[in-house]
Structure 1
Amino acid sequence: MDRRTAFNELFDKLQAEFIDEIRTYQMPDDAIDWITRMINHTVPGGKMNRGLSVVDSFLVLSGGKATEDELVKARVLGWCVEWLQAFFLVADDIMDQSITRRNKPCWYRVEGVGPTAINDSFILESAIYFYLKKYFRQEPYYVDLLELFHEVTLQTEIGQLLDLITAPEDHVDFTKFSLDKYKKIVLYKTAFYSFYLPVASAMRMSGITSETAYQQAKSVLLPLGEYFQTQDDYLDCYGDPEVIGKIGTDIEDNKCSWLINKALEKASPEQRKLLEENYGKKNADSVAVVKQIYKDLKLEESYKAYEEESYALVRKLIDQVDEKQVKHDVFIAFVDKIYKRTK
């Protein structure tokens, strides 16, 4: 059985365990049915890269000598990261008024759901701590895992706040935009939970306690997270919705994305005026104007140059990590997954 199949097959068991826990609250059948349907709609179906990275990182750190029990625990931790992702995405889609997610309607847009999805996102988050308690309470690193998930959740929420107050949907103010502000948003909103959390979880499972090791992991994984989010911004505009699983709305949503910040750096006064008049507008004509300016400024070429520079930088940072602290293969596996990705 390949690693992805083994990982995916655990989902049904974990879902059943959480539903059984909800049943102990003597919830009526319609509540049980709702939560089951909600989990099925929101948790599986993505690329699962974050969750699988926990397993892959643990295998590297264990020298390929993991027991089946350890592999199950690593998969559970991976699913905890995926549940955290689902919690963030359900809430984020409401805030952004997004249309689709993973080739399906966003959960809040499903008939009969609406704002109830806000509470559903809280339920998804709570499931994480149910699994951590069930599978890791007796482990010496249990408290470390709890603190890690709580800390990364706060970091991500702070990043989301910074994103929202920098670029509210109903008010375009380019004076608040800059590549420095963008990097701060990306660091907290994406890099910690998408890159540091999976590796740090595997490191905790592996018994690594040296603070130096975690700092060295961050020195690679946080820049890698910035590169990943810039890729996401590029794909939001230039990716095929059928491939990436969603319709990009960064322009309409007034997002402080890499593309708009790069455009503002390069734009003439006339182009900047057009961007101010059309960015953040929810109509196809305005979006077309912005995309034409991106084309005129050759942002695709700028992005491709950025990608090569980022790849070279990350490889250099990996070389600087003390392999006695963290094995380089942990980081190389991440780089290989995202370099020149199309979805």
Structure 2
Amino acid sequence: MTALTSPVRESAEQVLARCGELVRPSLREAVGRLHPWLAEMAAYSFGWCEVGGAPAAAPGGKGVRQALAVLGAEAAGADGGAGVPAAVAVELVHAFSLLHDDIMDGDATRRRRPAVWRAYGTGPAVLAGDALFALAVDTLAAAPAGPGTVRLLSAALADLVRGQADDLLFASRPWTGPERVTPPEYRAMAEGKTGALLGCAAALGAALGGAPRETVEALDRAGRHLGVAFQLVDDVLGIWGDPAVTGKPVGGDLRERKKTFPVLAALGSPAARRLPELLGSAEHTGEAAALIEAAGGRTAALAEARARTAAARELLGAAPLAAGAAEELAGLLDLLVDRTL
């Protein structure tokens, strides 16, 4: 997979910036309605401030879900502002999930800073996550067509939780044998954990923009394919990516013995017989990465990511979307999936 050409990348990043500027005031206003202590933790999680409330040097995150919601509304022929409540709600749910994920996974850092639970404590971080989720539901319920969109959000959240549960259970399963985690199981987990909220963002924006049910469902499915593709590329970057780009140490996923798609795909090859004993060892990270690549794990992950991207493109091409927004959605898909390896 090659890096995006500069004009395509710049165009997609301009879309992210435009959508972020549209959503940011409403997102900040929503967070400001929380209890001051909870609002500070939420602001810290978004990268807006440091511990104690001092402004942060640079806000974190690209605002992908925000952009999908705005573009979903525009794809339905509405003004992007119609998708702002959806963008705010989905961004709040995403932040809530990250706060809780970091606690469950024991991840001490997030975006090169201490995770909220390390900065404020586990109990406060759980409470802040709960507050963000409640705020998301309230935000969406107050929007036009609220009850129907709340059902969309709750269904996506159920899938997200199911995916997270599978991901946690994967850690205790063996690398080989009948109880091993299979690539199809991993795809299902990734669709729930990552894809459900991406699909929900685009679908909610379209719903608030007045799109018919078929269009809402098509955008939901496209976003789910995008989520799986994004996760697969993230898995590849977690093994072979440049730490300066990813913010992760080289081979960190291998040392943590994470059951990522390249590893699972490689284990199906006789060439990877020694792989389980190499995983988790800092001394053998390079050898494990080379073995996974030789056994076809990297190739399989990227091929699956391309297939999911193609499926998302097909759905976008078949749906009756406003032309400009459809093109921007396709460009955003490229930016997320075709990252530099």
The residue number in structure 2 matching 1:338 is 336
Query: Please, which moves more after superposition, 174-183 or 142-151?
Result: 174-183
Match of 1:29 in 2: none
- Counterpart contact for 2:71–2:329, Cα < 8 Å: no
Q: TM-score, normalised by structure 1?
A: 0.78
Is the 2:34–2:131 contact (alpha carbons within 8 Å) kept by the matching residues of 1?
A: no
Residue 336 of structure 1 and its aligned partner are, at CA, apart by: 2.8
Paired with 2:308 and 2:31, the residues of 1 have a C-alpha distance of: 40
RMSD: 3.1
Q: Secondary structure at the match of 2:253?
A: coil
Query: Is the alpha carbon distance of 1:133 and 1:221 closer, same or farther for their aligned partners in structure 2, counting shifts above 3 Å?
Result: closer
Q: How many residue pairs get matched?
A: 312
- What amino acid is the match of 1:116? P
Task: Verify the 8 A CA contact 2:262 2:298 in the aligned structure 1.
Answer: no
- Identity rate, percent: 21
Q: CA deviation at 1:307?
A: 4.3
User: Among 63, 66, 83, which residue is 1:48 paired with?
Assistant: 63
Aligned position for 1:107 = 116
1:302–1:115 distance in 2 versus 1, CA, 3 Å? same
Q: Which amino acid aligns with 1:213?
A: T
Is 1:167 matched up with 2:167? no
Question: Runs of 4 or more off by more than 6 Å in structure 1?
Answer: 324-327
Q: What whole-Å deviation, never above 9, does each CA across 1:35-59 have from its counterpart, x for those lacking one?
A: 2321122124111111111112222
Between the aligned partners of 1:74 and 1:21, the Cα distance in structure 2 is: 22
Match of 2:157 among 149, 153, 174: 153
Say if 2:143 is the partner of 1:143. no
Q: Does 1:224 align with 2:226?
A: yes
Task: Determine if the alignment matches structure 1 residue 179 to structure 2 residue 183.
Answer: yes
Aligned to 2:211, the other structure's residue is in SS state coil
Alpha-carbon spacing, 1:60–1:318, altered in 2? closer, same or farther (3 Å): closer
Question: Where does structure 2 lack aligned partners over 5 or more consecutive residues?
Answer: 1-13, 48-59
Q: Which SS does the other structure have where 1:250 is aligned?
A: helix
Higher RCO (Cα < 8 Å, 6 or more apart)? 2
CA shift at 1:301, angstroms? 4.3
Distance 1:250 1:262 in 2: 15
Measure the CA separation in 2 of the matches of 1:17 and 1:299.
43
Q: Aligned partners of 1:331, 1:13: CA distance in 2, in Å?
A: 22
- In the alignment, which of 269, 287, 291 is matched to residue 266 of structure 1? 269
In the TM superposition, what whole-angstrom CA distance separates every residue of 1:63-89 from its partner, at most 9, and x where no partner exists?
xx62xxx61x42332122111111111
Aligned match of 1:201 in 192, 204, 211? 204
1:201–1:185 Cα change, 3 Å: same
Mapped to 2, the partners of 1:37 and 1:217 lie a distance apart of: 34
Letter in 1 for 2:32: I
Residues 128 and 278 from structure 1, CA distance in 2 versus in 1: closer, same or farther, beyond 3 angstroms?
Answer: same
8 Å Cα contact 1:101/1:246 also seen in 2: no
Larger-gyration structure (1/2): 1
Relative to 1, partners in 2 of residues 1:105 and 1:324: Cα closer, same or farther, differing over 3 Å?
closer
| Kept after mapping to 2: 8 A contact 1:50/1:78 | yes
Change (3 A) 1:149 1:276: same
CA distance in 2, matches of 1:20, 1:322: 37
| SS of alignment partner, residue 176 of structure 1 | coil
Partner of 2:276: 276
How far apart, CA to CA, are the structure 2 residues paired with 1:156 and 1:339?
A: 20
Normalised TM-score (structure 2): 0.79
Contact 1:51 1:80 in 2 (8 A): no
1:323 pairs with one of 320, 323, 329: 320
Q: Which residue of 1 aligns with 2:128?
A: 120
Partner amino acid, structure 2, of 1:46: G
**Unaligned segments of structure 1, at least 5 residues:** 23-31
Residue type of the alignment partner of 2:72: S
Partners of 1:310 and 1:2 lie apart in 2 by 22
The 1:309–1:20 alpha-carbon spacing in structure 2 relative to 1, beyond 3 Å, is closer
**Other-structure match for 1:27:** none
CA deviation map 1:196-219 (0-9, x unaligned): 111111111122243x33443344
1:28 paired residue number? none
Equivalent positions of 1:73-112 (< 5 A) are 73-110=82-119, 112=120
Per-residue CA deviation, residues 235-271 of structure 1 (Å, 9 max, x unaligned), is 1222233323445743344333111111102243xx4
Q: After TM superposition, give the deviation of residue 317 of structure 1 in Å.
A: 4.5
